[in-house]
Amino acid sequence: MARVAYVDGHYPDLPAAVVAVEDRGLQFADSVYEVIALVAGKLVDLDQHLVRLARSRSGLGLPAPMNDAGLRVVLREVVRRNRLRDGLLYLQVTRGQAPRNHLFPAEPRASLMVTLRSWTPFPNSLASGVAVVFGDDLRWQRCDLKTTGLLPNVLAKQRAQEAGAFECWMVKDGVVTEGTSSNAWIVRDGSVHTHPLSHDVLGGITREVLLELAAANGIQVLEQPFRPTDVGSAEEAFLTSTSSFVVPVVSIDGNEIGDGIPGPVTCRLRELYRDHVYGPAG
């Protein structure tokens, strides 16, 4: 069955889905996006994703392509037409098309595009942990906005893959900020640490929910910066994102973290998030 997309009022098959060559999202990365997990037919944490989308739009002064209710209808229709139970839904809002000019168009008309692809949540291949490398954080100064200006992330992720790693944790002014597409966490002395929200990190939705789950289950989380040397001496480490939820990190730059296997705090948080997605087992 052909995948179905959404582009500005139409639901074309994916190969026929096109955008204008003068769309500002294409020419300037003048656009924002969200990735939302579809699990068992449900868009996970949809409300939080739409709140963040609105915040990112506001940060760029982007108009809304439609109201919130209309957007939810479009997303549900894309899910229905693709007949998937598990997948990753991608939506992007651009400032629309206009003759190329650095200045905003006088009367911008936002463009919306949505795609959905098949995906397996909580794959066994990630349960045993992944390798991470460090890299310089070369991104702009508003990483809290989820824009499509991702070239530094892409280059860092590619370097990580070429080094045999799953992710790159970026370092700025001697502090670990986040991964190229994930938030970074360590466990030291039984407490969980992650970078506080700032312009240097994206407020991940999985991060937001995991903080709530940790608090509700008596797991202490300290939102404070940590350094690469702190990672090396950590008992555990893990990363979070919409596309992988909670993933143990068992080595950094080729050096084992803790015992080199997923630790008990990480496994507990992974279990709590799985219950959040599916409901408690049994």
Q: How far is CA 60 from the centre of its chain?
A: 19
Q: Which residue has the tokens 């919409």?
A: 242
Helix H or strand E encompassing 205: helix 205-216
Does residue 42 have an active-site annotation?
Answer: no
Burial class (CB in 10 A: 0-12, 13-18, 19+), 255: exposed
| 78: phi then psi, degrees, rounded to nearest 5 | -60, -40
Largest CA distance in the chain: 58
φ, ψ for residue 97, nearest 5 deg = -100, 145
Which whole-number Å values give the CA distances from 158 to 151, 152, 155, 256, in the listed order? 10, 10, 5, 22
**Length in residues, the chain:** 282
Residues annotated as catalytic (active site), given as ranges = 146
